[in-house]
Amino acid sequence: MSEKYMLHIVIYQKTKPFSTKHNLYIPQLYNTLVQHNTKNMGFTFFLLILTITSVVASPNPFNQIHLLMPHSGSAGHKHSNLDCLSWRLAVETNNLQKWKQVPEECETYIGHYMLGEQYRKDVDLVTEEAYEYAKGLNITKDGKDLWVFDIDETTLSNLPYYASDAVAFGAIPYNATLFNEWVEEAAAPAIPGALKLYKQLIELGFKIVFLTGTEEAYAEARSKNMKDVGYTTWEKIIYKGVSDGSGVVYKQAKRKSLEEVGYRIRGNMGDQWSDLLGTNPGDRTFKVPDPMYYIG
Amino acid sequence: MSEKYMLHIVIYQKTKPFSTKHNLYIPQLYNTLVQHNTKNMGFTFFLLILTITSVVASPNPFNQIHLLMPHSGSAGHKHSNLDCLSWRLAVETNNLQKWKQVPEECETYIGHYMLGEQYRKDVDLVTEEAYEYAKGLNITKDGKDLWVFDIDETTLSNLPYYASDAVAFGAIPYNATLFNEWVEEAAAPAIPGALKLYKQLIELGFKIVFLTGTEEAYAEARSKNMKDVGYTTWEKIIYKGVSDGSGVVYKQAKRKSLEEVGYRIRGNMGDQWSDLLGTNPGDRTFKVPDPMYYIG
């Protein structure tokens, strides 16, 4: 087995009362490490990089905001030196729209994020907060209080597919044929935080509606997949018809139909802003992370 | 001058095709370092901590999603072991609402974030994206195309105040008296990305409206502050009256009034979701980061 390591060193520098975190992102060195890797290296190959910058502290705490000052030499080029953390935050806050794929330079970052602990923690905090909100509603249990869940990257994870070389966490353009083959496998795992919330909501007396962009042609595989991983019951599961329009148009129309027949959408959770925007959004919406693709 | 350092080491472990990033947050050791600091230590005091975890790779790439599996021993306690990165993401995506102050355990994290490079980069990406959007509008220049900016933490930074011991980046409850004294000083710096965007928008022919939660009593100090740092001209600057209601109610009412007299709000930028939600939000909204406080 071949093992490759990189040491990423962050230096905390403590002046009074605060100082700056120097966070060294060094993809070039990472690539160098990968290139120089040899087999059976075990735990013996380390690279340590230290960069230490001194900040002279003055008695005035206002000197601490020096990093608000403009950088010198800014070229004004669009998203030059793209910072992948900033890119992800801008995606999650809907500041970036209609993007086609993950920027090539962020494939590694997004891959690490999705496969690492942080994505999991980010989802869990949102689903926990949703449960706290739902608990506080004290619903009437007349069978009309709904929770609407999206499916892809909200209740089921397509990460096994997105982690494949042919997809590269969204850094390679979307291929509908390949994706639909994956959907037909009915092998997507549940997202643990969403599954836990789903069970809690049913316990509280909510009815569950799954509202998905998955096309009707894949309904059987998808429903099987949902049941297999623990989403065993639902009030409705709504698949997208061929003439249902864009994500946001389709989803708001279906939510409107639900409310017109007397349901109350108390909560609405999705990984895309198009799950949560438009009319009849629900009393409160919850955005779970998804930096891998954009559906408008 | 007293210097204190901490080495924070992150290990990237590369299996095929991907693996996990182990990110070690060790506030206890940080505290230990601070306690043992002595004067004039210069650059000589370092602590290195390495933790290496091995993951056995199998030929099946699907084994890479192991971190989607539930943690064992989850206590089910609300936000136990709060992850501050998750907390900040949940704030920025409006998943956490009506929170009163930064969690005590996140003060250090938020402080480092706000004073470090990441906050600056996060703002810059949003303001650059806003400019790309604005450029593409090809406005008519009839003087009716508006860009609405919030002020606090959108165009002016109160970070010098928030970094003080009495505020602790929002981890200490809001004190209106102290904050208003700071506003009266008229010493808030411009946020560089916003100031650059402001100048670009004027160049493109937009009219600028500043719509702020600052009360009318502080109008003089605020307007002076704005001019001093480079926001030298505006179509209107709207301060909040004593009977204007909550943030979201006040702001949507003022935006509605602007559109009723013929202005077109082409863009709307704020650090709070209450700047961007409700009626007449504008053709496109932009959320800039602010993990220090919540205004509903």
Q: What ipTM goes with this model? A: 0.76
Distance, in Å, from the CA atom of B211 to the CA atom of B254, rounded to the nearest integer, reads: 8
Query: Worst-scoring range by mean pLDDT, A44-53, A183-192, B136-145?
Result: A44-53
Quick check: bond before B160 cis, omega within 30?
no
Question: Please, what is the Cα angle at B279 between B276 and B284, to 5 degrees?
Answer: 45
The per-residue pLDDT for A80 is 55
For residue B81, name the pLDDT band (cuts at 50, 70, 90): confident
In this structure, the answer to whether residues A164 and A283 fall within a common structural domain is yes
Cβ neighbours of A43 in B, within 8 Å: 52, 54
Q: How many CB pairs under 8 A join A and B?
A: 260
CATH of the domain at B219: 3.40.50.1000
Whether A136 and chain B come into contact, CB under 8 Å, resolves to no
Q: Average pLDDT of A210-220?
A: 97
Kindly identify which residue of chain A lies nearest to residue B69, measuring between CA atoms: A192
Of the given ranges (A171-180, B1-10, B101-110), which has the lowest mean pLDDT? B1-10
Residue A62 lies in a domain: no
Domain boundary among A39, A56, A73: A56
CA A14 to chain B, closest CA, distance in angstroms equals: 5
Answer yes or no: is A69 within a domain: no
Instruction: Of A170, A165, A166, give the one whose Cα is nearest residue A114.
Output: A170
Domain match, B184 and B282 both: yes
What average pLDDT does chain A have? 80
How many Å lie between the alpha carbon of B230 and the closest alpha carbon of chain A? Answer: 13
Cβ distance of B56 and A1 shorter than 8 Å: yes
Count other C-beta atoms under 10 Å from residue B205's C-beta: 15
A-contacting residues in B 35-74 (Cβ below 8 Å): 37, 43, 50, 52, 54, 56-57, 61-62, 64-65, 67-70
Distances (CA, A) of B75 to A202, B56, B62, B80: 20, 28, 28, 8
The amino acid present at A229, given as its one-letter code, is V
Q: Is the peptide bond before B17 cis (omega within 30 degrees of 0)?
A: yes
For residues B27 and B162, membership in a common domain is answered with no
In 3D space, the residue among B177, B169, B154, B171 whose CA is nearest the CA of residue B289 turns out to be: B154
Query: Per the domain annotation, does A103 fall within a domain?
Result: no
Same domain, B27 and B173: no
Range of the domain at B13: 1-54
- Of A56, A72, A100, the residue that ends a domain is A56
Is the domain of A42 the same as that of A118? no
> Based on the structure, what is the number of domains in chain B?
2
Residues B283, B273: Cα–Cα separation, whole Å: 15
Q: Which has the higher per-residue pLDDT, B215 or B72?
A: B215
pLDDT at position B178: 96
The predicted-structure confidence for A117-163, as pLDDT tens digits, reads as follows 999 999 999 999 999 999 999 898 899 999 999 999 999 999 999 99
Cβ atoms < 10 Å from Cβ of B56: 7
Q: Return the bridge partners of B146, or none.
A: B207, B265
The closest CB to that of A125, out of B87, B113, B117, belongs to: B87
